[in-house]
Each structure stands twice: as C-alpha cells, then as structure tokens.
Structure 1
Amino acid sequence: MTLLSGVCIILILRKVASWHFEKTMDRWSYINTHAGETGSEIAECLIQRNNIQATRVHITEGVKTGAYSRYGKTILLSKDIHDSRSVAAIAIAAHEVGHSECDRDNGLIMYARYCLVPFGIILSKAVPILLIMYFFINWMVYILVAAVLAIMCLQLMSVWIEHDASRRALKMLKKARKYNDSEIRAIKKTLNAALMTYLVNVFNFKIG
C-alpha cells in the first residue's frame, strides 16, 4: 500500500510539474521582450559575447523546444523559438547557450553523462523485470535497489547540468544588459518551471 501511494504521489507531481511548465511557457510565449531580438539572435549574441567558439545555431523539429549537441557543437531550436521574440524563446535559447558554455568549461561532466545515459536506459528497462524476480528470489532486492540508486544518480546529474545551464543563462543575460528586471524575473520563472520537471524525474525510474 505504501509503495502504491508513493507511485501515485510521483505521478501526480510529474503531472503538476508538466502542467506548470506548459502554463508558464504559454504565458510567456505571447509576450515579447523590449530588446526585440529573436531566440536565434540572442543565442548568437551570447555565443560571441562569451567567447564560445565553434558553436552554431540551427532550426530543429518540434515545438517550444531546444537542445544542445556537444559533438556537433550545435544549438538546436524549434522554429517557434528560433524566430520568436518572446520571453519564453529568449529563456530557452539562452539556456542552450548555457549548456554550450558548460561544455566548454566542464566538458568532462557532460561527456560522462553522455556515456552513462545508454547504461541508464538499460537499467530503467530492467527495473520491472527485477521487481518481478524479487517476488521469487529474495536476494534480488539488492540488485533492484542498486539499479534504482544508479538511475537516481544519473537523474540527479541531469538536474545539476540543467540547473547549471540555467544559472549560466541568467548570468549571461544580465551581463548583456538587454533586458529589464521584470523580463529577467520572467525568464527566471520559465527556467525554474523547466527545472522542476527534471527534479520530479529523479523519482521516475525511467530514462529514454
């Protein structure tokens, strides 16, 4: 009963975090910044200002999304973020530049996560099997606990990387002096809403 309650709480928290992020994105996707720059323009600006070499900005598929490819040294923004002048677009674009800067300064951490993700995916798929085996083999609980802890550690690493990217993004945007205090607060709220989804996923024993 306790396990079932815990699962229900986690599912509810995931839904709430996802809903909050979508609501925040929707709110700030219709409000443009005074600077008037698009997501791609501010990304290029921050890349140049912070001496992040060999990083390019491209359009990718999807909606209200962004990503950073450390091997291609490429920032990928969905078209609505790439071409938008909204607060949400600036937040996402700057966040991905934050990943790029983190890769420059702490490349080993991002490389370690990249290498560990396939291992985490295998473990997450093995958890249901291990759980079933536990009912027949008591000592299987030790392997199950080890697998769950390993997945949680990888999720926590993701939280740290996302938090660091957002922290760097805010620092770069403040340094650029292109946005007023109310816009910076709105950008911070957007980044925090995204981070909450990663925090909740720490207790979601599934990767990929």
Structure 2
Amino acid sequence: MDFLAFLGPYGPLILLVFVASMLIQGYLSRTYRKWGNIRNPRNLTGAEVARMMLDDNGLRHIPVEAVPGHLSDHYDPIKKAVRLSESTYGVPSVGAIAVAAHEVGHAVQDKVRMPALVLRGHMAVPLSIGMNLAPWMVMLGLLIQATGLIWVGAVLFGAALLFHLVTLPVEFDASRRALVYLRERGVSGGGEAQAGAQQVLTAAALTYVAGFAMALAQFLNILGLARSND
C-alpha cells in the first residue's frame, strides 16, 4: 500500500498499464522475430520495397538510407529521407517489407500534407521541451508544497497526452497505406505473407496505443496529485 501511495492516486492504473505495455512489447518482439525470419514470396528487401513504393508515389527524390540499430526505422520529415534499420534495409523478409512500407507511408502522408501529421510536426519540439520540464515541475511543487507548479506540470503532461492522441491516426494510416500497397502491387504475394505483414503492423500499432494509455495514466495521476494538494 505504501508503494502504491507513493505512485499517487492512480498508482494501480499506472502499474497495470506498465505491465500491459511490457506484454505488448514482448508480443511485438515475438511477432517481428517470427516474420523477420520468413522470406517474402518475391524475395525483395526492405530497401527495395521502400524504393518501389516511393517511386510509385512520385517521391523519387526521397532517398532510402540504412541506419544502425534494430527497429530504428523512421521517416525524417525535415531531411525528407526514409531510414531503415539493419534488420529491415537489406533483409528480404515479410517483416522487413511491412516495416519499410509503413515508413514510406509516412512519406506519402507528408506529400499530401495529412493534417494530423502536420499538427504532430508542429507539436513535436515544444512538447519535447515541456515533457522534460513536467516531472521537475511536479517534484518541485510537491517538495515545496507549491500547488501552482504541480498544475503547470499537469498541463504539460496533458499536452503530451494530446501528442500521443494525434500520433495514433498518423501511425494507423501509415500502416493502412502500407498494407494496401503491398496487396495491390503484389509485393507480399498475398496469402500468408500478407497476413504476416498485417500481424507485424498490428503489433507495432499496439505499442502506440500502449504509449497513449501510459500518458493518460500519468496525466490522471498528476491531476490527482494537484487536486489533493489544493
């Protein structure tokens, strides 16, 4: 009970969400490990599929670059580049082409100026600063019993929650674009490989849902602390 009290009013919820997040991460790792070791029917690497999808969407100017790490794949909207990890770039697996197509999905979103993506881009820098300050505001407020600082921290956590909320449709849409392309272009070969690509992208999407749930739990917890100190 003392430990849960230390976590705050929503301590049990935070613990529950944390455990769920760990389970989801484990599911993602197992899913990617499985489909990352199964070759796709056309024997195309992640880099080759990314290049194809970019070219088919009129994005020939966007390079596909290799970066170190595992599942460090991302689209850089500032430098306009698709960056694929070592486990995706030169690997002809089902998992690799699913991840590669997802990242190109973000590039296509950027091209069409998807509102949620544009909004997330504007929010990213100021919210990253705010998120670094928020815990310090809350801890300092609790230490010196300054309720106003706790409320500032709650507002910053609330803004971060909004960022996570905006991220959800962006990620879901990128996965939708990826699956449609893999199916319609015949890249996945259909059947089991298409189902595997969908499983990989669904597992990845669940991590963003877990991120939102954790942000929500943290926000509610800080809100409860602020109210209890009024």
Return the TM-score normalized by structure 2. 0.82
Is 1:150 aligned to 2:159, yes or no?
A: yes
Amino acid at match of 2:206: M
RMSD: 2.0
Q: Look up the SS of the partner of 1:101 in the other structure.
A: helix
Does structure 2 conserve the Cα–Cα contact (< 8 Å) formed by 1:155 and 1:202?
yes
Q: Deviations over 1:73-95 (max 9, x none)?
A: 21111223111111110111100
Q: Tell me the CA shift for residue 163 of structure 1.
A: 1.0
CA contact (8 A) 2:54 2:62 kept: yes
Alignment CA distance shift 1:204-1:118 (3 Å): farther
Equivalent of residue 85 in structure 1, options 64, 86, 92: 92
Q: Deviations over 1:108-151 (max 9, x none)?
A: 64343233222222222233233331571334454333222211
Q: CA contact under 8 A between 1:33 and 1:183: conserved in structure 2? A: yes
How far, CA to CA, are the matches of 2:105 and 2:51 in structure 1?
12
Distance of 2:32 and 2:130 partners within structure 1: 32
Determine if the alignment matches structure 1 residue 187 to structure 2 residue 194.
Answer: no
Correspondence 1:31 to 2:41: no
Q: Which amino acid in 2 is paired with 1:149?
A: G
Provide the C-alpha distance between the structure 2 equivalents of 1:48 and 1:126, rounded to a whole number of angstroms.
42
1:204 is paired with a residue whose SS is helix
Partner residue in 1 for 2:11: 4
Name the residue aligned to 1:41.
48
**Which residue number corresponds to residue 120 of structure 1?**
127
> Any idea what SS the aligned residue of 1:77 has?
strand
Checking the alignment, whether the CA contact within 8 Å between 2:53 and 2:104 is kept in structure 1 is yes
Pairing partner for 1:163 from 167, 172, 180: 172
Cα separation, 2, equivalents of 1:70 and 1:118: 13
Query: CA-to-partner distance for each residue in 1:29-83, whole Å, 9 max, x for gaps?
Result: 1100111111111111111222224111111111233111112221111223111
Whether the 8 Å contact between 2:35 and 2:95 is mirrored in structure 1 is yes
Q: Give, as a single letter, the amino acid of the residue that structure 1 aligns with 2:59.
A: I
Structure 2: give runs of 5+ residues left out of the alignment: 219-230
Match for residue 174 of structure 1 among 173, 183, 187: 183
The aligned counterpart of 2:223 is: none
Q: Which residue of 2 aligns with 1:13?
A: 20
Deviation at 1:192, TM superposition (A): 0.8
After TM superposition, the structure 1 stretch with the greater mean CA deviation from structure 2, 193-202 or 144-153, is: 144-153
So what's the TM-score if we normalise by structure 1?
0.90
Q: Which aligned pairs between 1:99-118 and structure 2 lie closer than 5 A?
A: 99-106=106-113, 109-118=116-125
Aligned to 1:203: 213
CA distance in 2, matches of 1:47, 1:154: 27
* Residue among 47, 51, 55 paired with 2:58: 51
Number of residue pairs matched by the alignment = 206
Identity across the alignment (%): 22
